[in-house]
Structure 1
Amino acid sequence: MSKIDSSLFMSPVKQIVIGNIRKDTTIEDLKDCFSQLIKKHDVSFRIAVDKKGKQKGFAAVSIPITLVNDFLNYNGRNMKGHRITVVLSEDFKISKSTRWQQEETGVFKTPSPNQYNSLRSMPFLYKLFDAGVYLTHPKFSKNALNVIERAQSCGVKKMVVLGANVHQCEQALGLCRLFSGSLFCTAGLGPKHAPFWTDEAETQLTQIASSGHCVAIGECGLDLSTDELSSSQSQQLYAFEKQIQLSIKLKKPLVVIEKQAHIETLSLLQKYKDQLVDVVVSFVPENKAQIVKYVQEGFYIYIHGNVFLPQNSCIKKWLTDSDEETNVPFDRLLLGSAAPYHSVFRCTDIDWYPRQFTDDTQHKSFDIMLKHCKDNYSEPCSLPSMLVMMCCMVGDRFTPRSLAEKLTQNAVTFFHLDKSVGEEASVKVTGEKFCNKTPASHHRRWSFFVVTALVVVAAVVLLGVVCVKYSVLDKVGALYNLL
């Protein structure tokens, strides 16, 4: 079995299945077997059982990614007279009738450990694409898996993981390999890390960007919002231009962040405009003219949680403006949570959110956001709330569903996801088509209906044959006349 380079990951959770165990194995037996590996880690073993509570001969455990290789080395080890198998959960077929017995509660729990690979969301009205999230941020170091699951359960089916330095980009690539087809990444050096631009850093970023999981170069750009950052302006400009050239060389779109550096950023982008594939700019404008200028150059605009804060009124006014000269090009907007930054929870508009829609699934999304997002902390699960607030700003021009489809298609177009990405081909999607393949349970349900219908037809035919052969109808008619 192939080994996993743990240095590419921060600390998301990986699922391991332990097979060929005796059917009288206890959780204590499992802890004793792997005691050397779990001394400093709080892990939870689960034993697979059927509906009657009988063990099925295998168990599962959730472990930090850094322990994966060590656990896989236990494959073939003897435990209670059996040579156990230790494999990744995606390499082990688990029936959907499986229940899981846990020591903590003594009850059987679902879902299976494969859930992180086939997450099912509630039946939301629309599917979303988070065009920018910082999943490698230290705030997500201990709960990356849970954050991704919550986002999926709220209808956020695809995410682009942004990196601000080489290390974060490597971690993002590692996450994308774990969640191939659901997560994509970028490769870049942000303004704050521009002084660390070297030939070695350029080589590393080029290697990451050459991966099929990497869909853009960035984030990169200029940040002159403080005196300290302004002192590194020349270094920022140098790193920014180098990444623009890398974007042109690899023919990948460019993700730009700009803070109080509108003239400098625009000037450098205009220099390479005709050679760039596509550009999206994340910034807080000082006036509406700055937005219009970027749009006139054909660049995309990032809409994130910070846009909805009371002090950032320019983009809100731009979205609500119906002036033909500053008309909003909705095919040039990308929606990104920018989590864990820019918490939408701080927005005053949040007060009216629950009253806008009556659909229960949207209320569930709102409740999940209220439970997990705080004033200084955001998660991708907040994206549906951002969509609703944005929809209320644009008025009658869009419904939440149509706006979600538009923004999703924008992200698919910008990141060129109609081509083969990573280890699997991504499908160009719109609206309800933006979801996973039809689950096997759906096919089994239809098979059950078909078989049932055939059995009923066969029974009717057989009954008719019996009635004809033994003249049952004539005898019943005679009896009826007699009565």
Structure 2
Amino acid sequence: MKYIDIGINITNKQFQNDQQEVIENALQAGVFQMLLTGTSVTKSEQALLIAKKYPNVLFSTAGIHPHDAKSMNAESIANLKKILIQDEVVAVGECGLDFDRDFSPRNQQESCYEAQLDLACSIQKPLFLHERAAFNRFLPITQQFLPQLSKAVVHCFTGTLDEAKHYLNQGFYLGFTGAITDQKRFSHLEKVIQYVPLDRIMIETDAPFMLPKNILKANLNPKHQRRNEPTYLPYVAQYIALIKNISVERVALETTTTTQAFFKLPK
């Protein structure tokens, strides 16, 4: 089986000593294409440089995460655009709103997000979106730019069924991580996954975060047992298959087909 991971934070400091090993392990696990997430101008540049080392295997996104919205300056959008015109860069983001942690003031988050929505409209590349505890502001802001937007995926979706329905009605796709295996925090996602059509689902690890809870301890990296890695993506697919009562082969095939079409990845 082959899988595509649409979100890896490979520039995170947790991967600074073994990026190549992490990527090689993922390839051995059947994760044959991966998207490296850009969360700031600097991180987006770094992700692109790593992606260039693995043609047709690694790709990247370029954007400013809401946590980093306070770092946006007059040159940020122009610098992002320079990155986004590269062939390896397949989406604008990670961008959006995060009113859960508020690491950047909300007004700055909103202006930063709007600037990236405008950029996405101008270059016509898909959006890689982040929304946490901000649905009531996020959706109206995003709707202002429809239908000029290309396509959008709300990554690491952990919202309600009603929110999922609203996103689907806008034509958005939803990305699911190991969060779906966390019965204590995210048990409501079972109903969400049952509802969302398989052809609107993408899978991701959001590594090094969101470690799936359905991994046996013996299968974890002995040096980094609490760190999520793209090699664990099959566990996300397995859990979706369990919830939907379908084969994991079908989940792998359909999410791969959907993802390649969405981001225009080579087959």
Structure-1-length-normalised TM-score:
0.53
**Uncovered stretches (5+) of structure 2, i.e. residues with no partner:** none
Aligned ranges 1:120-131 → 2 under 5 Å: 126-131=1-6
Taking the aligned partners of 1:373 and 1:328, their CA distance within structure 2 comes to 33
Contact 2:199/2:258 (<8 A) preserved: yes
What is the match of residue 203 of structure 2? 335
Residue in 1 that maps onto 2:225: 374
- The reply on whether 1:153 has 2:28 as its aligned counterpart is yes
| CA RMSD after TM alignment | 1.7
Tell me if the contact between 1:172 and 1:185 (Cα under 8 Å) persists in the aligned partners.
yes
Shift of 1:328: 2.1
Distance 1:201 1:367 in 2: 44
Q: Residue 402 of structure 1: SS of its match in structure 2?
A: helix
Question: Distance between the aligned counterparts of 1:302 and 1:380, measured in 2?
Answer: 14
The equivalent residue for 1:412 is 260
Q: 1:261 aligns with which of 134, 143, 148?
A: 134
1:292 to 153, 162, 165: 165
3-state DSSP of counterpart to 1:313: coil
Structure 1 pair 141–370 and aligned structure 2 pair: CA distance change class (3 A): closer
Cα 1:372/1:299, change in 2 over 3 Å: farther
Query: Cα deviations across residues 180-233 of structure 1 (Å, max 9, x unaligned)?
Result: 11100001000011011122111211110010110000000000113x44x711
Q: Give per-residue Cα distances to partners, 1:311-340, cap 9 Å, x unaligned.
A: 1122222223xxxxxx42211111011000
- Once the two structures are TM-superposed, the CA of residue 374 in structure 1 deviates from its matched residue by 2.3
Checking the alignment, whether the CA contact within 8 Å between 1:368 and 1:381 is kept in structure 2 is no
Question: How far apart are residue 367 of structure 1 and its match?
Answer: 5.7
1:203 aligns with 2:78: yes
Whether 2:241 is the aligned partner of 1:387: answer no
CA deviation after TM superposition for structure 1 residue 145, in Å: 0.5
Amino acid at match of 1:201: S
Runs of 4 or more, structure 1, over 6 Å off, are: none
- Equivalent pairs: percent with the same residue? 29
CA shift in 2, pair 1:392/1:372, >3 Å: farther
SS of 1:381's partner is: helix
Aligned residues of 1:372 and 1:379 also touching (Cα < 8 A): no
Candidates 159, 178, 186, aligned match of 1:312: 186
CA distance in 2, matches of 1:400, 1:391: 5
* 1:166-192 deviations in Å (ceiling 9; x for gaps): 111111110111111110000100001
The answer to whether structure 1 residue 303 and structure 2 residue 151 are counterparts is no
Correspondence 1:81-96 to 2 at 5 A:
none
Deviation at 1:297, TM superposition (A): 1.2
1:272 to 145, 158, 162: 145
Aligned residue for 1:19?
A: none
Shift of 1:270: 1.2
How far apart in 2 are the matches of 1:146 and 1:180? 17
Structure 1, gaps ≥5 residues long? 1-125, 321-326, 352-365, 418-425, 428-483
Q: Which has the higher contact order (CA 8 A, sep 6+)?
A: 2
What letter corresponds to residue 343 of structure 1 in structure 2? L
Distance 1:251 1:257, change over 3 A: same
Q: What corresponds to 2:51 in structure 1?
A: 176
Corresponding residue for 2:247?
399
SS of residue matched to 2:155: strand
Deviation (angstroms), 1:273: 1.8
Mapped partners of 1:132, 1:155: distance in 2? 16
Whether the 8 Å CA contact 1:343–1:374 is kept in 2: the answer is no
- Aligned partner of 2:66 among 191, 202, 205: 191
Quote the Cα distance in structure 1 between the aligned partners of 2:73 and 2:37: 20
What's the TM-score, normalizing by structure 2?
0.94
Q: CA deviation at 1:373?
A: 5.5
Aligned to 2:120: 247
Rounded to whole Å, the distance in 2 between the matches of 1:388 and 1:286 is 21
Query: What does the per-residue CA deviation read over 1:51-93, in whole Å, with 9 as the maximum and x for residues that have no partner?
Result: xxxxxxxxxxxxxxxxxxxxxxxxxxxxxxxxxxxxxxxxxxx
Per the alignment, residue 221 of structure 1 pairs with: 96
Amino acid in the other structure paired with 1:415? F
Q: How far, CA to CA, are the matches of 1:270 and 1:378 in structure 2?
A: 33
